Structure 1
Amino acid sequence: MMVYVASLTGLLIGSGYGYVSQQGAFCMNSGFRVAVTQRNMTKVKAYVLAIALQMVVVPLVFAAGLSSPTYPPLFPVGAVLGGLLFGASMHWAGGCAAGVWYKLGSGSLGALAAVLGMAIGAAALEVGPLVGFRASVQSAGPSIGNAPLEMLWPWGPLAGLLLIGMLWFAAPGHAGAWSWRRTGLAIGAVGILAWPLSSLAARDFGMAVVPGTVSLLTEPVRRLMSWDVLFVLGIPLGAFVAARRIGPVTTSKVSAMAASKRFAGGLGLGVGASLAAGCTVGHGLTGVPLLAPGSMLAIVSIFAGSAITSLWELRNG
């Protein structure tokens, strides 16, 4: 019973993430795209600030015994191929994995199509007919244990402080209703709280979108009270609250063609995230602050996939 009660903290963290994302228009689909096509780094700065804050504070959470580090795995081939696919698919889905969830809360039916596609795509590789394909891709290339990662720990807070110092002098700017500094600090704080709160539910990890998305599609109803499921359900809830503060939340119309495009993009998000063992949240906002090599490789690949797609679209209309 206590584990179920503790799992409710997932709803709290997810709602916080969704609220901040809606207020700060925090989505790495547009963040990476405008960084490449317009040299607008506003959302990327918020993303880096959220990572840097966690690099400084999360080790203190571990040192205090409030949680234990769990590193995202390194699958070199999976990280590159999955990251490239995920990055390219963000354009078609209209958001990253967390982005389509929070946009669902603001009334986007296109986001609903993307969420469904993402759940199906990831489930096919995690528990469905493509499990063997995922295993073969992820088994290719070298692997790395946790010992080398633990040697990097002293450098994490130092790197985080350096990044925060550099961002201190960066130009101000807004995305959505909030400044990038406010958004980055808030997302970072939510990410920090995710570790000790999820540990109460016997889950030592930070924020992640794909596990809960897959569980919604594959787990029986009695097991839908997990921390991961409640986290993803909390994202649209928090976004709805944020959007409702501005005015009525209306359902956006979407054509069949547009919905099909979003669904196909969602499939790509799910397949890519499964191959890479994470996304812009599980790797970027949870693994990168731990200096996990697999997360850093995956995020670079996601950015590359987004950049290639954005530049191709820019040059070909």
Structure 2
Amino acid sequence: MDSSAAIVIFVGLAIGLVYGAVGLLSGFCLMSSMRGWLAEGDGRLVRTYALAIAVAIAASQFLAGNGMADLGKSIYLQQTFSVPVLFLGGLLFGYGMVLSNGCGSRALVLLGRGNLRSFVVVIVLAIAAQMTLKGLIAPARIALVQASQTTVNVNSLPSLLASLGPGEALSRALAAAVIVVALILFAFAHPMFRRSPGQIAAGVVVGLLVAAGWFVTGYLGADDFNPVPVTSLTFIAPIADALQYAMLSTGLTLNFGIATVAGVFAGSLITALATGRFKLEGYSSPRHMLRSGSGAALMGIGGVMAFGCSIGQGLTGVSTLALGSFVALAGILLGTTAGLRGALRVQPLAVA
């Protein structure tokens, strides 16, 4: 392993450690945020998520504008993509997230705290994602993408704005500023959020971790002879890769995503042990396990179709201002809302 690849691995591990600790202490999770907002009337966590997006966009676009990360090399800023598949994948992921009571990153955090339900979620999610990436479901996914994909001249909000006249730098600044200001105003308009320094800190830290991922893979890890994929926090494919690496490590290579997954689990475990929060928990009934596993499968399939999860698209993808990421995030939010309210609402399980 050369020096640049080693740097990417170690920094990825460090980013995961911090995310795991912050996720455990703050409860950072889109599903929990949406449930608190829509079902329980508590809007603090959704403001944390909004602040994280704002910080991720501001910091990531700063890096891109100063040549410290080429976001155009990421999977999000492609000229050809399928809007229907991105949106459908988001819907599946969002609904699956409600069934499983959390996303992939949250499952890793809870697993570190001793939640054995999350072990099932992580394993099923990984298998379903790998099946959709390279296995039995892959041909159907590829056929669906090929039948519905379109090639566009503009693939991001800055490029869309630039097509109307402003230069690239100005378009980037304007697009980022409008969204960042709107999200910050939304976050701090909530009185209880303003009085929650822990949630404010969590939003800022998670947003900066996204930018840190772009910086290490796009700048520190840049090597013309051995290029590292430009990426940042995301959890669907990395969880699948991590499971495969655990089984077949001699034939595979460590990467940023695998290191991040390991870091999140370790960070949560260390924090849980240090704060006395570690507690073994399991399923209350076979029906509970079936629901949770079904949600994990939907997240694995939908996350691959959407090119990411509530973190991978909701934070990392959106930080690039890619149009496709906003489509995927819209699907995730709609799928989550459907699981929390309305005719398709996931009903609470009866206590065994």
Give 1:173's aligned amino acid.
F
Q: Indicate the residue corresponding to 2:241 in structure 1.
A: 215
Q: Answer yes or no: is the 8 Å Cα contact 1:77–1:140 preserved in 2.
A: no
Give 1:280's aligned amino acid.
S
Q: Indicate the residue corresponding to 2:297 in structure 1.
A: 267
Q: Indicate the residue corresponding to 1:173 in structure 2.
A: 193
Unpaired runs of 5+ residues, structure 2, are 162-171, 222-227
Q: Indicate the residue corresponding to 1:279 in structure 2.
A: 309
Report the secondary structure of 2:21's partner residue.
helix
Q: Given the alignment, which residue of 236, 240, 245 partners 2:274? A: 245
Q: Given the alignment, which residue of 298, 304, 307 partners 2:328? A: 298
Q: Indicate the residue corresponding to 2:164 in structure 1.
A: none
Instruction: Give the deviation of 1:313 after TM superposition.
Output: 6.7
User: Given the superposition, is the C-alpha separation of residues 227 and 298 from structure 1 closer, same or farther in structure 2, using an over 3 Å criterion?
Assistant: same
Q: Identity rate of aligned residues, in percent?
A: 23
Could you list the per-position Cα deviations for residues 31-52 of structure 1 after superposition, in whole angstroms to 9, with x for gaps in the alignment?
1122222332211111111111
Q: Indicate the residue corresponding to 1:14 in structure 2.
A: 16
Q: Indicate the residue corresponding to 1:163 in structure 2.
A: 183
Tell me the TM-score normalised to structure 1 length: 0.91
Q: Answer yes or no: is the 8 Å Cα contact 1:123–1:217 preserved in 2.
A: no
Pairing of 1:38-187 with structure 2 (within 5 A): 38-69=40-71, 70-72=74-76, 73=78, 74-145=81-152, 147-149=154-156, 150-151=158-159, 152=161, 153-159=172-178, 160-173=180-193, 179-187=198-206
Q: Answer yes or no: is the 8 Å Cα contact 2:99–2:339 preserved in 1.
A: no
Q: Answer yes or no: is the 8 Å Cα contact 1:71–1:290 preserved in 2.
A: no
Report the secondary structure of 1:173's partner residue.
helix
Could you list the per-position Cα deviations for residues 240-290 of structure 1 after superposition, in whole angstroms to 9, with x for gaps in the alignment?
222223215222133461333322211111011011111111101111122
Q: Distance in 1 between matches of 2:301 and 2:155?
A: 29
Q: Distance in 2 between matches of 1:314 and 1:233?
A: 33
Q: CA RMSD in A?
A: 2.4
Q: Distance in 1 between matches of 2:275 and 2:294?
A: 31
Q: Distance in 2 between matches of 1:193 and 1:294?
A: 22
Q: Distance in 2 between matches of 1:146 and 1:38?
A: 43
Instruction: Give the deviation of 1:188 after TM superposition.
Output: 0.9
Give 1:6's aligned amino acid.
V
Unpaired runs of 5+ residues, structure 1, are none
Q: Indicate the residue corresponding to 1:206 in structure 2.
A: 232
Tell me the TM-score normalised to structure 2 length: 0.82
Q: Mean Cα displacement is larger for which, 45-54 or 211-220?
A: 211-220
Equivalent residue pairs, number = 316
Q: Indicate the residue corresponding to 2:209 in structure 1.
A: 190
Q: Answer yes or no: is the 8 Å Cα contact 1:216–1:229 preserved in 2.
A: yes
Instruction: Give the deviation of 1:155 after TM superposition.
Output: 2.5
Instruction: Give the deviation of 1:314 after TM superposition.
Output: 5.9
Q: Distance in 1 between matches of 2:229 and 2:99?
A: 32
Instruction: Give the deviation of 1:71 after TM superposition.
Output: 4.9
User: Given the superposition, is the C-alpha separation of residues 230 and 29 from structure 1 closer, same or farther in structure 2, using an over 3 Å criterion?
Assistant: same
Q: Answer yes or no: is the 8 Å Cα contact 1:216–1:224 preserved in 2.
A: no
Report the secondary structure of 1:172's partner residue.
helix
Q: Answer yes or no: is the 8 Å Cα contact 2:59–2:208 preserved in 1.
A: no
Structure whose CA Rg is larger: 2
User: Given the superposition, is the C-alpha separation of residues 145 and 14 from structure 1 closer, same or farther in structure 2, using an over 3 Å criterion?
Assistant: farther
